[in-house]
Amino acid sequence: MNESLAPPVIWYEGLSRYQQRGIAHVLATVVAINGSAPRALQAKMIVTQDCIVDTLGGGGLEHDVVNTARQLLNGEIAATVSKEVKPKVAETDSESASVPSKAVRRDAVYTKHYPLGAKLAQCCGGSVTVMFECFNVTPPMSVLVFGAGHVASALMSILAELPCQVDWVDSRPEMFKRYLVDEPTTNQSKLYNLPAHIRPHIDDEPVDFVRPFIEQGGQRFILVMTHDHSVDFELVRAALDTISDMSALHDKCSDISTPYVGCISSATKAKRFRDRLIQRGYSEQLVNQLVMPIGLQIGGKEPMAVAISIVAQLLQKYHQATL
């Protein structure tokens, strides 16, 4: 079910939400304590680019934890990494003032030791070591799906279990009716029994979604599978037009990568679309970027079999690009 916009309060609520939505975040955990400390062993908090969830005790300690977490998210931590400082059994405030906090990288896990003294404006007198675990630093798949037929529905049952962002568009309200929690009254927002990272959209002008989606940059996947071949064709054209425009501005918009544009089809439909596009002046190089038919050739024509082949192809291309 779609969640409210209220921010999470407890770390495990934030972890669940950000994992499900594929949002980059850091889980900071107290993994060692010597002497007095503001929180107990294994206390945790979540840090994203915009939010913090829960607390490791506030004050200078938490301020540095948040800054360090965001450095990790931004890829800036390498400039400040040095040898790890091992926690000491007994540390005085004077010692704390002279021993800097230092971070160490262990692949995707970082630890940082904090003497809780004058340097952090803390008077606990002890020390803590915090472990930082980064998740979703590589942006998740962003998928724009047009059409809510049998294959698209099967597709959603798979994408519901993956870290991705999905916008699902159809012009027919009845196609999403099965997912409604309750029939909305006037001015009431519709609630759908779908994971938070799958956002349904009912719109008579699906083409309007194409350009803004591509222009966001990053890895983008567009799947065209509506009930109307003429709508499919216009969606494909809109995607190719945007790619062409972005290519012309490539030097100025280097963060724009070529999206995956796939259209469900038979071999006959694929040939017809390609021929029509060439006749309308699209270059062969541009038309060849269109994936049609979509999906890996694994066999099977059932909606779920087709959906599996499509997701397998998306994952293959996504992971190849992130290697």
pTM value is: 0.70
How far is it, in rounded angstroms, from Cα 84 to Cα 105? 9
Tens of pLDDT, residue by residue over 37-79, are 888 999 999 999 999 999 998 788 899 999 999 998 888 875 3
Predicted confidence at residue 257, as pLDDT, reads 65
Query: Backbone phi, then psi, for 115, in 5-degree steps?
Result: -70, 130
Specify whether the CB–CB gap between 143 and 110 falls below 8 A.
no
Tens of pLDDT, residue by residue over 138-160, are 777 899 999 999 999 999 999 99
Task: Give percent of the chain above pLDDT 70.
Answer: 80
Locate tokens 């675990």: which residue? 133
Predicted confidence at residue 184, as pLDDT, reads 63
What is the chain's mean pLDDT, rounded? 83
Tens of pLDDT, residue by residue over 75-110, are 887 534 443 444 443 333 444 443 444 444 434 688
Predicted confidence at residue 93, as pLDDT, reads 40
Task: Give percent of the chain above pLDDT 90.
Answer: 54
Looking at 174-290, list the stretches that DSSP marks H as alpha helix, in order from N- to C-terminal side.
210-215, 229-248, 267-279, 284-287
pLDDT band at 249 (very low <50, low <70, confident <90, very high): confident
The average pLDDT across 115-126 equals 65
Predicted confidence at residue 136, as pLDDT, reads 79
Predicted confidence at residue 185, as pLDDT, reads 61
Q: Exposed, middle or buried by CB within 10 Å (0-12, 13-18, 19+), for 32?
A: middle
> Cis omega before residue 293 (within 30°)?
yes
How far is it, in rounded angstroms, from Cα 173 to Cα 148? 10
pLDDT band at 188 (very low <50, low <70, confident <90, very high): low
